[in-house]
Amino acid sequence: MTTPDPDRLRCGRTTDDILDQVADGRGDQRDGHQQSCPHCQAVLGEYDRLWAPLRTLAEEQVTAPDGLLDTALARVRGAVAQTDYGIIDGPQGVTRIAARVVVVTARESAQEVSGVRVALSKYLHPTLAARPTHPHGRHTLPDAGPEVTAGVAGRSTAIEITVAADYGHDLLELSERVRAEVTDRVRALTDLEPVQVTVIIDDVLD
Amino acid sequence: MTGDHDALDEQADRWLVDKVRGGDMDAYEVLIRRHRDRIYRIALRMLGDSHDAEDIAQDVTIQLWTAVTGFAGSAAFTTWLYRIVVNRCHNHRRGRRRTRPVLDTDPAPTPGADDAAITREQSAATLRSVAALPPPQRAVLVLVQMEGLSYREAAAVTGESEATVRGRLHRARKALITDMRSWS
């Protein structure tokens, strides 16, 4: 003797199928059997009643509370305001490289050039970095000291490096070596294209 | 007509996403505001708690700014957004396990209350029933039953097969109908 299947009606239909029929919103689309079967009709009616709160919930218009996302958007805006990014498109998506990454890369590579005693870096806000420069390449900012600055737009980056050199080097030749080293290293490590590398020999140290 | 509208919306989303990937914060704000109700609604239905849903919506708003650079564009933006929000809800749930039964503190509808109050309470109770489902079942139920996604779309969001989605949806429905019967 087999145990009756609790999910199967006496007419042979299953309650599982009827549940899916009701939940899919097809409860009123009854086939020929269901139109005359009291077992199916009873279960259809019962499930339709029980499922009503789910239908109501699904139909509710839910709106986010006013101002809910303002704080979060303000936080994103704040973070963005402090960061300047280079954008590299790739087949799998976009890579963003912050300007400060370029700054560090440029500083480290300049530091390794023979004849450079020290290269300092400081991130400048893009609006400041974009200000006109002195004809000789110095920043017009009164407090501009030895530093590396970088501004990026799209795939291009412009870098300014301020270094203190060891005494006794040909400074023009030194600046060319710094420019070449920085350009190669930034291009290799970040895939950004340094379109302008300004080298400022700020001081000569014994 | 709806399909055309959806297609145009998707086009607008992609246009905005391209701008965002270029660092356009204004485009990001527009994109977020276009989808804020959707983000909040999914979180509310996944978690059954308005405060948790607000937390999730704010987290997602911050997270999306960096995550959007990883949006490959091979799927609809909304599908990708669903995935972000659902996964965030799963993590939120795991990080903040409830220590009380979800139904204990909420009174049943009282005799004599007006219809609107009953409807509100019934909706809240239904939300709690949904929130009590195992996370994989809950996600599929919210996506298909409430958000109206197809099995294929829900499969794309959850990373499961369509057959798995169908199975989970059916188990969720059975669990809910059993729960609903206990209210009677």
CA A183/CA A138 separation, integer angstroms:
19
Cα radius of gyration (chain B): 18
The more confident residue out of A90 and A133 is A90
In eight-state DSSP terms, residue B110 is P
pLDDT for position A151: 66
pLDDT band at B93 (very low <50, low <70, confident <90, very high): low
- Residue pair A150/A159 in contact (Cβ under 8 Å)? The answer is yes
Q: How many CB atoms lie within 10 A of CB B54?
A: 17
Amino acid at B184: S
The verdict on A51 touching B (C-beta cutoff 8 Å) is yes
Lowest pLDDT segment from A101-115, B40-54, B68-82: B68-82
CA of A203 vs chain B CAs: smallest distance (Å): 37
pLDDT for position A149: 66
CA A59/CA A53 separation, integer angstroms:
10
Which of B28, B58, B184 minimises the CB distance to A71? B58
Tens digit of each residue's pLDDT (9 = 90 or more) over A96-155: 777 778 888 888 899 899 999 888 655 444 444 444 333 333 333 333 344 566 666 667
pLDDT for position A5: 75
CA B113/CA A176 separation, integer angstroms:
84
The verdict on A63 touching B (C-beta cutoff 8 Å) is yes
Backbone angles phi, psi at B141, to 5 degrees: -60, -45
CA distance to A113, A119, A120, A122, A196, per residue, from A174 (Å):
8, 13, 16, 22, 17
Tens digit of each residue's pLDDT (9 = 90 or more) over B26-37: 888 889 989 999
The verdict on A195 touching B (C-beta cutoff 8 Å) is no
pLDDT for position B97: 46
In eight-state DSSP terms, residue A5 is P
Which of B22, B58, B184 minimises the CB distance to A69? B58
Lowest pLDDT segment from A27-36, A82-91, B138-147: A82-91
Backbone angles phi, psi at A94, to 5 degrees: -105, 140
